[in-house]
Structure 1
Amino acid sequence: MRAYVFEPRERRQASLAAELENAGIDPLFVNADFFEVGLAPLTQPGNDVRAILIGESENTHAQIRTVRKAGCANPVIVLRDFRNSQDTSAALDRGADDVIVSPIKGSEVVSRINSIIRRFHGHAAESVVVGELTAFFDGRDPIVSGARIKLSKREHSIFQHLALNSNRVISKNAIYDAVYGMSADQPFDKVIDVYICKLRKKIAAAAESGAQYIETVHGRGYKLSAPDEFDLPAPDRPVGRGPRGIEARA
């Protein structure tokens, strides 16, 4: 998980970075110019999953407005030093998704970002069921036919982006930007094809049906969806439940 972080007080950046990194967030610290010249890439497909964490300053509310006026749908979380209900209300009214008060805990930041992202993509619960597959949005590896399959960090990043957009076609460029867009050492985009191949093999090997769940839509991208036989509930399977009694979650 990657995030842009604006923390104007340099003395706090090291401890904040350590807290976020320990929770699995890759922080990119930015200065005030980011809100004037750095927002354009965030409006591109695939970049809306990157959170923007804004440390408290006299310009906080103006920065929130600038982000939203630029058309960015990214999660915006304000990091405050002290609880202030009036200021919190103003930040939320101007477009912030959440406000977290010190001490900042990385695990809480991750959970709040995940909650915002999954709701933005239409998922109210912590997981979604696609045929024999249960995908989680909180960092857990997926379950296929009742067994958990282990994914590498990069595989998990790509799989989660597909899961957030399940049953919709997502372009390879959008996946690439979501996974590698902030990396200083970006590989060739063919690497996405390699990871998609690995994911297909792992899912098919674990699925009782042996079916392929990641479809290549030529000229458009990839789609995570259930094979035809799982599109409708079987006669002896209650609506809203997946294979092996796993409840479907929206």
Structure 2
Amino acid sequence: MTTLLLVEDDRTIGQALESSLELHGYDVHWARAGGAALGEAQRTPFDLVLLDLGLPDLDGVEVCRRLRAMQPQTVLVIVTARQDEIDVVVGLEAGADDYLVKPVRLGELLARVRAHLRRGPSTARQSIAVGGLLVDTAGRKASVAGQEVPLRTKEFDLLARLAEGVGTAVSRETLMADVWDAHWYGSTKTLDVHIASLRRKLMAGAPSAEQAPVITTLRGHGYRLELPQE
């Protein structure tokens, strides 16, 4: 059974989400505070976390960082009333895979949960080489010049999608649909933050700047993965 961690201090919201998620077949662990959530994460590996940022004991962003460090492969979705752009950026940079702003319709939340849990890169090609970059889709590993680059789940999925068509422009809408949710609507800031993080990690993991693959921004369209600059 798919195991979810729900971190929500509001009893009414928490009860509604717990009941609905369990009705749809998920094993739900409900934590009402940040400390309790971290304790649950120490005992149980979760497939997905729904995290509110307004917690009574710890700052939700700090809880997000700790959860990401404890369970690197877990899908982490922030569900919060904080809607300013800086809050979205900070939450995503803390390790979240997705950011939903309350109030969020239950149907949308359930659809997003299902999309995250079934989402994964195509394994039609077992490995993709782009210059010194090797993307191992079967093993879900990426390396530059033989040096493995530690990537979070969505960072790997995004890199694999771009690597499928090296040199080909991929629109923002296509990336959001293929990596996150085919029915995505609203802000795509999550894509920009993941691209920025992916660039930093690829550059840091390369023995030299000349061996790092390049993700080019195409203003008004999307992104393109290219061979390292000579």
What TM-score do you get using the length of structure 1 for normalisation?
A: 0.41
| Structure with greater proportional strand content | 2
Larger RCO, structures 1/2 (Cα 8 Å, 6+ apart): 1
Larger radius of gyration: 1
